[in-house]
Amino acid sequence: MNDLDFLRTPEGRALLDEVRDTDPAQELAVATRLRRTHPAPLVSAALGQARLRQRAVAKFGAADAGRMFFTPNGVEQSTRASVAAYRAERLHGLGVRSVADLCCGIGGDAIALARAGIRVLAVDRDPLTCEAARANADALGLADLIEVREADVTEVGTAPYDAVFVDPARRGGRGRIFDPEAYSPPLSWAVAAARTASRAAALKVAPGIPHEAVPADAEAEWISDGGDVKEAVLWFGAGAAPGAVRATLLPGPRTLPGTGLPDPEARTPGRYLYEPDGAVVRAHLVAEVAAQVGGGLLDATIAYVTADELRPTPYATAYEITDRMPFNVKKLKALLRERGVGTLTVKKRGSAVEPEELRKKVRPQGPNAATVFLTRVAGAPTMLIGHPAR
């Protein structure tokens, strides 16, 4: 019996309940106490699973994470629940009622698809990962909609399913993999599989995928959640607009489609600075945001937009700029002291200076708050100081 098998028994579940809220600082004491009545390997397995569940809360929420089963890679590589739910609803809206989920991992996307009323074949080649996916489908009451199959995804027929979803592994022994053809399976294989889907297909890829690597018959969508870019998705078939790009912001969703605007021109800094959402930047849609706010770029190579008027947009955060100066730590320190700034937010684009390094040098003190942008204006290293616009 492996760890997951044990943890799913009544004894294992009871042990998981006992260690559920264990503080990491108290883990040794808890382990010592429990080993008096339980085998040491089982205590270690329960505490390890408790740690994974605590890490998974950020992606799955406390209610689901507290019932699910994880592997270390599963927590690291699984899709955030809000993103998976958005994608599942888009597929459901296209009339998809069955999906072949290839490279399913611990089942995060399969769970979202099943909750949208879609029948899922979840495939992975790793036995322990498949066991976790089965355990999660069962724990969340979705086993009737999710079939987990241990197999090589390249050998699985997808013809009986309306849609194909592929989430290739993008991490190896040395960390993240940036070359799409080094994914497992390679992007070219995933694209070929997508093109055989009877209705629609979605391929999850790294948000840093080069635009030139996106197939001409795919629609590319970059997704952020709470301001953090999470992934890019290549869409094929029904509902996809070949060659189109879009940025989608969660919660919402709010979607900004590309309109083919040319890059905006650089201009002198105005009263307001707009920081486009990361999904907008990755999708190369800064021009669309600049058009919305009537602005231009601070620098031709930097994704900061500046404008004279405040025009709210969900696709960028606006800041009112009060000061502009060439990069100079001593002058910044003096200005912050004069303004009584103790809470300093440091943002940067086009600067080699690390935010924490700058904070240590200026040592802000006082009751007020400010934001400093380390960037370039017309090619010159520049500091812009301000605060979120009201």
Q: Tell me the percentage of the chain whose pLDDT exceeds 90.
A: 82
Residues 147 and 233 in one domain: yes
Mean pLDDT (the chain) is: 94
Residues 111 and 210 in one domain: yes
Residue 289: its H or E element: helix 286-293
Higher-pLDDT residue of 150, 175: 150
Number of C-alpha atoms within 13 angstroms, CB side, residue 125? 10
244/214 Cα distance (integer angstroms): 10
305/288 Cα distance (integer angstroms): 11
Report pLDDT digits (tens) over 158-207.
999 999 999 998 876 677 778 888 888 999 999 999 999 999 999 999 99
Residues 161 and 82 in one domain: yes
Question: What pLDDT, on the 0 to 100 scale, is given for residue 82?
Answer: 97
200/340 Cα distance (integer angstroms): 56
pLDDT band, very low/low/confident/very high, at 380 (cuts 50, 70, 90)? very high
Question: What pLDDT, on the 0 to 100 scale, is given for residue 152?
Answer: 95
In a domain, 261, yes or no: no
Q: Which domain holds residue 92?
A: 76-256
What CATH number is associated with residue 226?
A: 3.40.50.150
Residues 226 and 338 in one domain: no
Residues 49 and 85 in one domain: no
Question: What pLDDT, on the 0 to 100 scale, is given for residue 7?
Answer: 87
Asked which of 63, 89, 115 is the last residue of a domain, the reply is 63
In a domain, 356, yes or no: yes
In a domain, 265, yes or no: no
In a domain, 69, yes or no: no
* Domains: count for the chain: 3
Residues 40 and 89 in one domain: no
Q: What is the CA radius of gyration of the chain?
A: 24
In a domain, 68, yes or no: no
Residues 59 and 82 in one domain: no
Residues 162 and 109 in one domain: yes
Higher-pLDDT residue of 252, 373: 373
My answer on whether omega of the bond before 185 falls inside 30° of 0, hence cis, is yes
Asked which of 226, 256, 286 is the last residue of a domain, the reply is 256
In a domain, 153, yes or no: yes
In a domain, 196, yes or no: yes
Residue 213 DSSP one-character state: G
Residues 214 and 187 in one domain: yes
In the predicted structure, residue 1 carries a pLDDT above the cut 60: no
Average pLDDT for 88-105? 97
pLDDT band, very low/low/confident/very high, at 24 (cuts 50, 70, 90)? confident
251/255 Cα distance (integer angstroms): 11
Average pLDDT for 137-156? 96
Asked which of 221, 256, 291 is the last residue of a domain, the reply is 256
Total length of the chain: 390
255, β-bridge pairs: 248
In the predicted structure, residue 99 carries a pLDDT above the cut 80: yes
Residues 355 and 240 in one domain: no
